[in-house]
């Protein structure tokens, strides 16, 4: 879904509950700590409840219990309008997660395209802002994957953004309902960005748009939440500590379909 889209707050949210091997999830840029899987399940339920409360219909993606990171369903598919692009992760251990996501978007009636070898692309590297699509170029998404996505998206302006020290582009930045970029500038190549508002906490870089003036964000970014509320935004905060222990954030846990 695009920022400033009047359909914000409607449509479907695809989610995949955490599986039994969640604690084995891949960690790249942070130290590993124990993950409380029972707490993670409760946190995921609260996250889903927040999506439903915003007016979203919630649809579960078929489980992929052999894949510890499958709960981070955003990485499997990019949805733009009526097109669903099935990703091909640069992390080979995650490629088996995509089939369930493809089944879910097919059942929603979306057109299906795929990133093909040697291209790689994770949905967490794709940020749509109006007619502009920012795509992170890093360990999970390569130049070939970006070129394929640009071809599939047709008339949209696509801007590659080099990332460093983070898992995905959306680990470093997202956008508010008015389209303004927010994030951690030292993690991205700011020379290709029009402007980025610096957030006081790393977790404040991640928002899910629940409506034209409503955002979902992590409870671990209270100062950022206070700033957004002062700006007139409605803020819903959820505790996702067990997913943050695996480099996850609020955007990772769903795919929004207008």
User: Which residues, other chains included, contact 74 with Cβ-Cβ below 8 Å and sequence gap of 6+?
Assistant: 123, 124, 170, 251, 252, 253, 254, 255
Mean pLDDT in residue range 33-49: 98
C-alpha to C-alpha distance for 176 and 101, rounded to whole angstroms? 26
Q: Tell me the CA distances in angstroms from 199 to 5, 65, 195, 202, 207, one per residue in order.
A: 23, 35, 13, 7, 12
Share of the chain above pLDDT 90, in %: 95
Burial of 109 per CB tally in 10 Å (0-12, 13-18, 19+): exposed
Q: What CATH number corresponds to the domain at position 187?
A: 3.75.10.10
In this structure, is residue 223 part of a structural domain?
Answer: yes
Q: How confident is the model at residue 10 (pLDDT cuts 50, 70, 90)?
A: confident
Interstrand relation of 111-114 and 255-257 (parallel, antiparallel or unpaired): unpaired
Q: Where in the sequence is the domain holding 191, given as residue range(s)?
A: 12-257
63-97 pLDDT, tens per residue?
Answer: 999 999 999 999 999 999 999 999 999 999 999 99
Q: What is the mean pLDDT of residues 100-122?
A: 98
Whole-number pLDDT of residue 2: 42
Could you tell me if residue 6 is inside a domain? no
Specify the pLDDT at position 201: 97
DSSP 8-state class, residue 59: E
Is 165 within a domain? yes
Q: Which residues pair with 214 in a beta bridge?
A: 211, 234
Q: Which of 248, 196, 229, 215 is nearest to 51 (CA)?
A: 215
Q: Which residues are designated catalytic? A: 168, 252
Instruction: Report the relative pairing of strands 208-211 and 197-198 from DSSP bridges.
Output: unpaired
Q: For residues 256 and 108, is the Cβ–Cβ distance under 8 A?
A: no
**For residues 221 and 15, what is the distance between their CA atoms, to the nearest angstrom?**
23
> Is residue 18 scored above 70 in pLDDT?
yes
Structure confidence at residue 5 as a pLDDT band (50, 70, 90): very low
List C-alpha distances in Å: 136 to 23, 34, 35, 204.
26, 29, 27, 18
Residue linked to tokens 């480099």: 247
Task: Check residue 7 and give its pLDDT.
Answer: 42
**Is residue 57 situated within a structural domain?**
yes
Name the average pLDDT for the chain. 95
Model confidence band, residue 9 (pLDDT cutoffs 50, 70, 90): low
Confidence of residue 6 (pLDDT cuts 50, 70, 90): very low
Does residue 7 form part of some domain? no
Sheet holding 255-257, edge to edge: 57-60, 12-15, 255-257
120, part of any domain = yes
pLDDT reading at 30 higher than 70: yes
Note whether residue 2 is domain-resident. Answer: no
Number of domains within the chain: 1
Residue 25: inside a domain, yes or no? yes
């Amino acid at each position: 879904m695009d920022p400033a889209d009047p359909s914000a707050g409607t449509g479907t949210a695809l989610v995949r509950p955490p599986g039994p091997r969640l604690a084995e999830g891949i960690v790249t840029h942070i130290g590993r700590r124990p993950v409380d899987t029972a707490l993670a399940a409760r946190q995921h339920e609260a996250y889903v409840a927040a999506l439903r409360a915003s007016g979203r219909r919630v649809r579960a993606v078929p489980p992929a219990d052999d894949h510890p990171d499958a709960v981070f369903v955003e990485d499997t598919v990019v949805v733009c309008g009526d097109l669903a692009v099935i990703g091909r992760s640069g992390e080979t251990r995650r490629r088996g997660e995509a089939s369930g996501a493809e089944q879910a978007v097919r059942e929603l009636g979306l057109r299906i395209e795929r990133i093909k070898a040697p291209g790689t692309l994770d949905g967490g590297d794709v940020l749509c802002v109006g007619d502009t699509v920012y795509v992170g170029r890093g360990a999970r998404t390569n130049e070939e994957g970006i070129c394929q996505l640009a071809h599939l998206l047709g008339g949209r302006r696509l801007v590659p953004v080099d990332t460093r020290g983070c898992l995905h582009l959306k680990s470093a930045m997202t956008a508010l309902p008015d389209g303004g970029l927010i994030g951690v500038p030292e993690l991205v190549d700011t020379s290709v960005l029009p402007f980025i508002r610096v957030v006081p906490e790393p977790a404040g870089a991640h928002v899910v748009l629940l409506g034209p003036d409503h955002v979902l964000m992590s409870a671990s970014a209270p100062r950022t939440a206070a700033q957004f509320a002062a700006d007139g935004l409605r803020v819903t905060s959820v505790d996702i500590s067990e997913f943050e222990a695996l480099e996850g954030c609020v955007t990772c846990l769903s795919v929004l379909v207008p």
